[in-house]
Structure 1
Amino acid sequence: MKFSVFTASTPEWTPEEAAATLAAQGWDGIEWRITDQEPAAEPGFWAGNRSTWALTGLEKVLARIAAVTSAAGLEYSGIGGYVRCDNHDDVERILAATAHLGAGQVRIVVLPLGASAMGGEPTGRDYRDLFAETREHFAWVAERSSFHGVKALVELHHQTVTSSPSSALRLLEGLDPNHVGVIHDLGNLVVEGGEESLAGLQLLGDYLAHVHVKNAAWRQLPGTGAESAWKHEWSTLRGGIADVPRYFGALAAVGYDGWVTVEDFSTELPLAERTADNLAYLRSLVQPC
């Protein structure tokens, strides 16, 4: 098993700082965030993130991405892409970039739910139609992934058509698992789609291609009775609802020995302390008994 960090969770560092710091801490790899983002006065996870590479002009910075990664002695656990499956031109570009870098695999985003604002304004479209459309797009994505010799990954993510292992399997079933696969994301399953870990991992079978680890907890907002509401908040790996040690037991039970990428969006600890502590914690979970 190898450990990496998704740079969505390292907003304060430049690419050079992220690679050098993670390598010095002993991480095996890095998962670069690639997307066009909004500027921000202060660096944040989703806007103004300093260790994000822009999708616009990506081809011009591939040599720099490769140089920064190799200079630190890190491997790619994959590419953290944000290109939607219905944007075929940019899917083609990011698949080609993944192949050029030798990164092996890249996340391709599925369609959001009709009631979700993840893709901008909610569309109001029926889930069945969205799912069928996404499946059509991924049949094309699988063919293009095969052409480029890489694997396109579907992430289990709330407010999308693939929030659970069952839905992701249904989306990809019949497509070549050498060129499409699933990112099992423990923290996202706390928010939506939460199927029991071992069962979900078993269900995915050959489509289990990658693992993201973060944690979350539900918090009650002020108010009582009809005014009371709950929202999820990202937490430390130890502090959320998901049982991380039990999860690693499930991964071992299915024989998973691939990449585990951490995307910790908690802020209790300073960034460098947070990443170092996460690596120590995860390594403690895979020590021989």
Structure 2
Amino acid sequence: MKVLVLTKPFGDAPPQQLADHLAQAGADGADLLVRDGHTVTPDTVGRIAETTRALRGNGLDLGMVSTDLTTADGEAERVIGHCAEAGATLLRLGFYRYDARIEHAAAVDRARRDLAGLAELAARHGVRLVLALHHGTLHPSAAHAARLLTGLDGIHVHPDPGNQAKEGSEHWRLTLDVIGGPGRVGCVGVKNAVWEPEARPGEWTCVWQPLADGGVVPWHTILPGLDALGYTGPLSLHVHYPTDDPFTAVRRDVAHLRGLLLEAGRGASADGTTN
């Protein structure tokens, strides 16, 4: 399992500086975020190739490109095309947000049509798509994602237990069983969170936590379980919590993840319990 780092903490760092940061932090590659205010934006997608060269010069891969794409429009054509030209063949789609004011079945039908269009576009370019399990969307869990992706075999799932903690939790093995096993997983998001009390008595909120500090997601059982099931795809480490020193935060969490992976390699059963 290769360790990618979502590039969000580094903002608009130039490609070479970004590549240097990731290499020094101990990553295997980048999960490149394409968004305004970052190294590559929707208007500068030509920079994907430049970023790929910088990463490779540091011995790293462009393991995945994360986007906000939700429709097969001109922007999607440009982004996916540049990914294909740069050899970046795994792309994370945007989020289909849940809105209680919109009739649910209609929202699902529209999302499915948009996903089908994106799947067709990506197939023409030889790019694989993944849909992340994300709070506040029509796909916060495996079951909801499976409903959206029925018949769309070209789109894989991006489980993210940290995101899923925002709306409760779901056993990691159940997630894989529902979506069809590790072969349907394109990437696994890695982060952690904790529940903290609000100022108002009796109310709690789920906030991001450094991976190295633990949290509600049991990575010490998830990673051995993934290994036992034969998952060999990428892990994408996310540093979403506030920090004054993104580089140090990323380096610390990468080192912690490496330690967890070493422990996972010592053997585990498919339900995540150590042998």
Flag whether TM exceeds 0.5 (same fold).
yes
> Counterpart of 1:86?
71
The 5-angstrom pairing of residues 96-115 of structure 1 reads 96-115=81-100
> Counterpart of 1:229?
203
> Counterpart of 1:181?
156
Q: Is the aligned partner of 1:136 residue 2:121?
A: no
TM superposition shift of 1:74 = 1.1
Contact residue 31 and residue 64 of structure 2 kept, 8 A: yes
The verdict on how the C-alpha distance between 1:272 and 1:36 changes in structure 2, with shifts beyond 3 A counting, is closer
Q: Please list every run of 5 or more consecutive structure 2 residues that lacks an aligned counterpart in the other structure.
A: 267-275
SS of alignment partner, residue 256 of structure 1: coil
The verdict on how the C-alpha distance between 1:57 and 1:264 changes in structure 2, with shifts beyond 3 A counting, is closer
SS of alignment partner, residue 261 of structure 1: strand
Query: Normalization by structure 2: what TM-score?
Result: 0.87
Q: Give me the whole-angstrom Cα distance separating, in 1, the residues matched to 2:120 and 2:139.
A: 20
Contact residue 64 and residue 91 of structure 2 kept, 8 A: yes
TM superposition shift of 1:147 = 0.6
Q: Give me the whole-angstrom Cα distance separating, in 1, the residues matched to 2:39 and 2:194.
A: 26
> Counterpart of 2:273?
none
TM superposition shift of 1:191 = 0.3
Contact residue 164 and residue 192 of structure 1 kept, 8 A: no
Contact residue 142 and residue 152 of structure 1 kept, 8 A: yes
Q: Please list every run of 5 or more consecutive structure 1 residues that lacks an aligned counterpart in the other structure.
A: 38-50, 116-123
Q: Give me the whole-angstrom Cα distance separating, in 2, the residues matched to 1:143 and 1:193.
A: 33
Cα deviation 1:15-45 (Å, max 9, x = unaligned)? 32221122133311011110124xxxxxxxx
Contact residue 3 and residue 259 of structure 1 kept, 8 A: yes
Cα deviation 1:80-139 (Å, max 9, x = unaligned)? 1112x2352222222112111111111111321114xxxxxxxx2122211111111111
> Counterpart of 1:23?
23
> Counterpart of 1:118?
none
TM superposition shift of 1:14 = 4.0
TM superposition shift of 1:211 = 0.8
The 5-angstrom pairing of residues 130-209 of structure 1 reads 130-176=107-153, 179-192=154-167, 194-204=169-179, 205=181, 206-209=183-186
TM superposition shift of 1:11 = 3.3
TM superposition shift of 1:230 = 2.4
Letter in 2 for 1:158: H
Letter in 1 for 2:21: T
> Counterpart of 1:285?
260
Q: Give me the whole-angstrom Cα distance separating, in 2, the residues matched to 1:98 and 1:13.
A: 19
Q: 2:51 aligns with which of 56, 65, 68?
A: 65
Contact residue 201 and residue 251 of structure 1 kept, 8 A: no
Q: Give me the whole-angstrom Cα distance separating, in 2, the residues matched to 1:57 and 1:103.
A: 16
Q: Give me the whole-angstrom Cα distance separating, in 1, the residues matched to 2:63 and 2:142.
A: 21
Q: Is the aligned partner of 1:252 residue 2:227?
A: yes
Q: Report how many residues are paired.
A: 261
Contact residue 145 and residue 180 of structure 1 kept, 8 A: no
Is 98-107 or 264-273 further displaced after alignment?
264-273
Contact residue 19 and residue 51 of structure 2 kept, 8 A: no
SS of alignment partner, residue 159 of structure 1: coil
> Counterpart of 2:80?
95
Q: Give me the whole-angstrom Cα distance separating, in 2, the residues matched to 1:106 and 1:21.
A: 22
SS of alignment partner, residue 200 of structure 1: helix
Q: Give me the whole-angstrom Cα distance separating, in 1, the residues matched to 2:48 and 2:249.
A: 28
SS of alignment partner, residue 140 of structure 2: coil
Cα deviation 1:143-176 (Å, max 9, x = unaligned)? 1111110111111111111000111122112222
> Counterpart of 1:47?
none
TM superposition shift of 1:265 = 1.6
Letter in 2 for 1:36: D
Contact residue 113 and residue 160 of structure 1 kept, 8 A: yes
